[in-house]
Amino acid sequence: GAGVSQSPRYKVAKRGQDVALRCDPISGHVSLFWYQQALGQGPEFLTYFQNEAQLDKSGLPSDRFFAERPEGSVSTLKIQRTQQEDSAVYLCASSLGTAAVNTEAFFGQGTRLTVV
Amino acid sequence: KQEVTQIPAALSVPEGENLVLNCSFTDSAIYNLQWFRQDPGKGLTSLLLIQSSQREQTSGRLNASLDKSSGRSTLYIAASQPGDSATYLCAVGLGNKLVFGAGTILRVKS
């Protein structure tokens, strides 16, 4: 596709519910990132994939958060037993290079998650 | 821990004015620095990417500079327009991730 695509755009979940957020990166991009953006703040790093390998998950806030990219393309961020503090915009980004931060990162429009 | 600070937090200017947005970071061991624009309810649009070996980048009315030794970057916007109204974020490339500032909310009044 022309850009990074995320779905759904909006998600309302009841507390305790599991959610799955999808990211379609730019075709051919090796690196994929997930970020969490709270209201009024800059995005914060969650996890990084190089192809199908999850090389860095240091930003995942708890073991309720899980991400995968099984075929090195589409990625899913799963949050189990959602809590109110999980409410945020979840942004996905991809970049062409394997030395990820040396190449430009392109972001999707994000998924706004609201936990009620 | 790398910290990125953006000043001012918000800025309101009349159309046509030139303006400067500031970004500072605490650890100079960065790979690059990227400026983004974010419109309400939207994702991030990349504006300029400066590699650590570079001093500045220009694109149209935008010019970004980087001084690694002092931990500073500026984004200069010439002849501002109402369409420039958005939140501007700077981010430093560090390891496998970008570390973002909280952003500057810019409003250009017509």
| Residue-averaged pLDDT of chain A | 93
Strands A10-13 and A5-7 turn out to be unpaired
Find out whether B77 and B50 touch, Cβ atoms under 8 Å: no
Q: Please, are residues B56 and B63 in contact by the beta-carbon 8 Å criterion?
A: yes
Q: In the prediction, which pLDDT does A45 show?
A: 95
Give the C-alpha separation, B79 to A58, whole Å.
42
What residues form DSSP beta bridges with B92?
Answer: B33, B99
Residues of B with CB under 8 A from a CB of A: 4, 31-32, 34, 36, 41-46, 49, 51, 89, 91, 93-103
Q: Could you check whether the bond before residue B14 is cis, i.e. omega within 30 degrees of 0?
A: no
Token pair 């958005």: residue? B86
* Binary contact (B97, A45; C-beta < 8 A): yes
pLDDT computed for residue A104 by the predictor: 83
Structure tokens that stand for B7 in this block: 């000043």
pLDDT averaged per 10 residues in sequence order, chain B, 110 residues: 94 97 94 93 90 95 96 98 97 89 97
Q: What phi and psi values does residue B52 have, to the nearest 5 degrees? A: -65, -25
Query: Do residue A107 and residue B43 have CB atoms under 8 angstroms apart?
Result: yes
**Which pLDDT tens digit goes with each residue over A65-112?**
999 999 999 999 999 999 999 999 999 999 988 755 567 889 999 999
Mean pLDDT, residues A16-41 = 96
CA distances to A5, A88, B89 from A22, rounded to whole Å, are 8, 15, 24
Mean pLDDT score, A6-27: 97
pLDDT of residue B70: 95
The answer to whether B84 touches B13, Cβ cutoff 8 Å, is no
Strand order in the sheet with B19-25: B4-7, B19-25, B72-77, B62-67, B56-59
Whether A18 has its CB under 8 Å from any CB of chain B: the answer is no
Instruction: Specify the pLDDT at position A101.
Output: 55
B98 and A56: CB-CB below 8 Å? no
Residue A97 pLDDT: 84
Q: Is B93 helix (H, G, I), strand (E, B) or coil?
A: strand
Is the per-residue pLDDT at A57 higher than 90? yes
A64 CA: distance to closest CA in chain B (Å):
21
SS3 assignment, position A86: helix
Other beta carbons within 10 Å of B85: 18
Please give the pLDDT value at position B96.
Answer: 82
Which chain A residue's Cα is nearest to B89? A42
Q: Which range is least confidently modeled, A1-5, A47-51, A86-90?
A: A1-5
